[in-house]
Structure 1
């Protein structure tokens, strides 16, 4: 299993290539881009710059789902030239073209028609599953994620009005270990679910925790701060 801190530490930018399937598997393509995006955010949080390239077509929902634009795109040679060197990590559904590079193999994702559904809720639902396992999502499940997301955003906006408090150290270390070891965003989401109703954690600490972990999750959890 790829371990972020151990295997991706080093000087200079980390180059990542996301290989979007060209066979019309839009759900899987979106998931590949989401995992590459999360990988980049985790490594950046540790202080290393990341450049992300893309082969294959980007699903039109990717930008709305919090995926940043690629730094280079096209074929693998185009990506290599655009990133200033060969990718050190490939995020792909299958086998990467460069066998000597690290690889994250992403499980298939079957999604319903996404018209009218919240792209952030789609991201949240997909991040709730181990990236290597296949996922089949329904519109009802995505709507459930959207309701949770709306509740969290209202709670974060409320907590923002309280004095700031440190992130609970045990929670922070657990989240970091989960992300560093296997990009385990599902564990991070479960930690936030438990934290939401924890009676022994000050509101200011809840705000700081949600805001900090959203740097990786990219669910716009602080979007409503200042509106309530």
Structure 2
């Protein structure tokens, strides 16, 4: 298990290389998931104030941009990536045990779906991101239509709530709740724990609206779900206030 604080602390940029496997058929999402875990790892490290450089081997994943994954700074062979990034990667992400040399490695389990992702950009593609982040990166995932629909509803509800909370006075994040979740993120990339916290806070009576806003906005820097994008927008016609 990767422990970010213990193994990836240091000075200078952290170089990460995502090794994208060949496409696994029409429903294969493993390559997308490898890139997503690399993206989350980069966000966690950057949240601690360290610069990250991303490399990618293997084929491009057309849906990556739609799911909010930032493009690699270099792609090609491992040697080419090391040259382009100014040094060898400090951590490799793959769908199998990495045998390519130095650096820590993180194995990402397979993901697939029976749902057609054609026209993904028109269906809130971040619902796919939410579902993948709902599972530990080392557990296989099968995305189903019902779960994607529920993820879209969750994102719509959270974005509306964040927009409403943003209108209230800001308050500090609840440290007793956020602290343990940050530890899990930094030790194991435990995004499911982050999402559990958001679900708990959404209806918590003992946390102010301003504190909820600050917590959702802060943790979305790692999740990348664009939870603040409805701020300043009016409620759609027919939507609950």
Q: Secondary structure at the match of 1:16?
A: strand
1:15, 1:51 within 8 Å by CA — same for their partners in 2?
yes
Q: Secondary structure at the match of 1:198?
A: coil
1:30, 1:58 within 8 Å by CA — same for their partners in 2?
no
Q: Secondary structure at the match of 2:230?
A: coil
**What's the counterpart of residue 119 of structure 1?**
125
Q: TM-score, normalised by structure 2?
A: 0.92
2:46, 2:52 within 8 Å by CA — same for their partners in 1?
yes
**What's the counterpart of residue 145 of structure 1?**
151
**What's the counterpart of residue 95 of structure 2?**
93
**What's the counterpart of residue 138 of structure 2?**
132
Alignment of 1:8-157 (within 5 A): 8-24=8-24, 26-111=28-113, 112-116=115-119, 117-157=123-163
CA deviation after TM superposition for structure 1 residue 97, in Å: 3.8
Whole-angstrom CA distance in 1 between matches of 2:142 and 2:24 = 16
CA deviation after TM superposition for structure 1 residue 96, in Å: 2.0
Q: Which consecutive unaligned segments of at least 5 residues does structure 1 have?
A: none
Q: Secondary structure at the match of 1:132?
A: coil
2:15, 2:85 within 8 Å by CA — same for their partners in 1?
yes
Backbone CA RMSD of aligned residues: 1.1
CA deviation after TM superposition for structure 1 residue 192, in Å: 0.1
Whole-angstrom CA distance in 2 between matches of 1:51 and 1:186 = 25
Q: TM-score, normalised by structure 1?
A: 0.97
Pick which of 211-220 and 100-109 moved more. 100-109
Pick which of 52-61 and 187-196 moved more. 52-61
Q: Secondary structure at the match of 1:78?
A: helix
**1:124-162 per-position Cα deviation (integer Å, ceiling 9, x unaligned):** 000000001100111221111011000000000000000
**What's the counterpart of residue 238 of structure 2?**
none
Whole-angstrom CA distance in 1 between matches of 2:217 and 2:46 = 16
Q: How many residues of Structure 1 are paired with residues of Structure 2 in the alignment? A: 228
Pick which of 207-216 and 107-116 moved more. 107-116
2:35, 2:64 within 8 Å by CA — same for their partners in 1?
yes
1:54, 1:72 within 8 Å by CA — same for their partners in 2?
yes
Whole-angstrom CA distance in 1 between matches of 2:143 and 2:216 = 25
CA deviation after TM superposition for structure 1 residue 24, in Å: 3.6
**What's the counterpart of residue 204 of structure 1?**
210
**1:47-95 per-position Cα deviation (integer Å, ceiling 9, x unaligned):** 1100010011222111111100100001111211111111010010012
**What's the counterpart of residue 237 of structure 2?**
none
**1:158-190 per-position Cα deviation (integer Å, ceiling 9, x unaligned):** 000000000000112012111011000000000
CA deviation after TM superposition for structure 1 residue 33, in Å: 0.3
Moved >6 Å (runs of 4+): none
